[in-house]
Amino acid sequence: MKRPTPQLIVLSFALWLTAAPIGLAQTSSSSSTIQTGGTITGRVQNVVTGNYLNKARISVKGTNLVVYTDESGVYRIVDVPAGANTLEVFYTDLDVQEVSVMVNPRGTVERNFDLTSKARYGEASGVVKLDSFRVTSDKETDGKAIAINEQRFAPNIKNVMATDSFGDVLGSNVGEFLKFMPGLTAEYSEVEIVGISVRGIGGDKTSFTFDGAPIVSANAAPSRTFNMNTLALNNISRIEVTKVPTPSTPADSLAGSINMVSKSAFERSRAQFNYGVNLMANSENVTFKKTPHSNGDHDTRKISPGFDFDYSMPVNKNFGFVVTGFQSDKYNE
């Protein structure tokens, strides 16, 4: 007698403790051996959403000093000429901001920037006027701006998508999100997406990384294909897809590479909690009652509940944490 395939139950719980990033942003000019200028440092955020901005461009007008913020919105410009300087901050889809900063020789000045868009949020940056459609449109616009800004300043050709670009993804499945990106094809194992093919070359030739570090497959079978059916989307901030390998790309990235950037408590200035509940069903077995299984040995439910949540808490400038979890139960004959 053919035994039924057991129901797929996926439970993931992740706890991330994050330390504040340390490092210097690259500048287009080399600093002298003996620093005669000053240093300007700070953070850049979207004051309406409270999110710190990655790859915001900060330039010192009248010089060739240009830096970009890191994933926590932090920037640092060294060897800035002493005296009055004008900083220009640019981020896609937000208003350009110019501020005058006085720099002392060999001194350090901290200057934070709160960017906004008057066309979207109005003159008062702390007040958001909402109508029946505004919440959804703002969320989509934020995801679009993140993707465009990442691609604009990327060192190579790549596609970037914030994980909230397509709204809620049922079951918090990474594969269900990736299948909507151009040039990618999902590879299935029964009802679950287990691999992603880039440009049709095959999932076994696509490399996966998490925050730039290679990750191994959860598949027990010997294969080069990364099995993503236990990878939670609600633990990821954005996904970067590189379709054109560069000389520095590892040899196992023949088709392309997919890098998943984890959520960080330092991406925002205040605590944030997101949650979702769902019901999952097979379109051929839509009933809330217990019905016989395919071989008739016992009755099972064909519609199963699921949930997902993520909580980000920046405690201070040097410490924060992110907690995520999800449960997904999908019936399969």
266: CATH: 2.170.130.10
* CA separation for the pair 13, 171 (Å, rounded): 14
Between 30 and 108, residue with greater pLDDT = 108
pLDDT higher than threshold 50 for residue 137: no
Q: Are residues 281 and 178 in the same domain?
A: yes
Between 232 and 80, residue with greater pLDDT = 80
Mean pLDDT of the chain: 76
Domain with 320 in it = 1-20+157-333
Q: Is 151 helix (H, G, I), strand (E, B) or coil?
A: helix
Closest CA to 114 of 46, 40, 41: 46
Q: How far is CA 55 from the centre of its chain?
A: 13
Q: Are residues 241 and 328 in the same domain?
A: yes
* Under 8 Å between Cβ of 112 and 88: no
Residue 26 lies in a domain: no
Which pLDDT tens digit goes with each residue over 291-325?
877 666 778 888 888 888 889 888 888 888 999 88
Q: Which residues contact 18 (CB under 8 A, 6 or more apart)?
A: 264, 265, 266, 319, 320, 321, 322
* CA separation for the pair 161, 26 (Å, rounded): 24
Which pLDDT tens digit goes with each residue over 178-224?
888 888 888 887 777 878 888 777 777 788 888 888 887 755 566 66
**Residue 94 is part of a domain; what is its CATH number?**
2.60.40.1120
Q: Are residues 10 and 48 in the same domain?
A: no
Q: Of 121, 145, 172, which residue constitutes the final position of a domain?
A: 121
Which pTM does this prediction carry? 0.60
pLDDT higher than threshold 60 for residue 6: no
Residue 96 lies in a domain: yes
Q: How would residue 9 be classed by pLDDT, with cut points 50, 70 and 90? A: very low
What pLDDT, on the 0 to 100 scale, is given for residue 221? 60
Q: Are residues 3 and 113 in the same domain?
A: no
Tokens 């909230």 correspond to what residue? Answer: 164
Q: Are residues 42 and 7 in the same domain?
A: no
Number of domains in the chain: 2
Q: Which residues contact 39 (CB under 8 A, 6 or more apart)?
A: 76, 77, 78, 79, 80, 103, 107, 108, 109
Average pLDDT of the residues in 61-85: 91
Q: Are residues 63 and 196 in the same domain?
A: no
CA distances from 284 to 281, 287, 290, 295 (A): 8, 9, 14, 16
* Under 8 Å between Cβ of 257 and 242: yes
Residue 151 lies in a domain: no
Residue 136 lies in a domain: no
Which pLDDT tens digit goes with each residue over 86-131?
999 999 888 999 999 999 888 899 999 999 888 777 765 555 555 4
Q: Are residues 13 and 35 in the same domain?
A: no
Tokens matching residue 85: 């300087």
**Cα Dmax for the chain:** 85
Q: Are residues 112 and 250 in the same domain?
A: no
What pLDDT, on the 0 to 100 scale, is given for residue 77? 93
Q: Are residues 56 and 14 in the same domain?
A: no
Q: Are residues 162 and 219 in the same domain?
A: yes
Q: Are residues 43 and 109 in the same domain?
A: yes
Q: Are residues 195 and 239 in the same domain?
A: yes
Residue 141 lies in a domain: no
In three-state form (DSSP H/G/I as H, E/B as E, the rest C), the secondary structure along 10-26 is EEEEEEEEEECCCCCCC
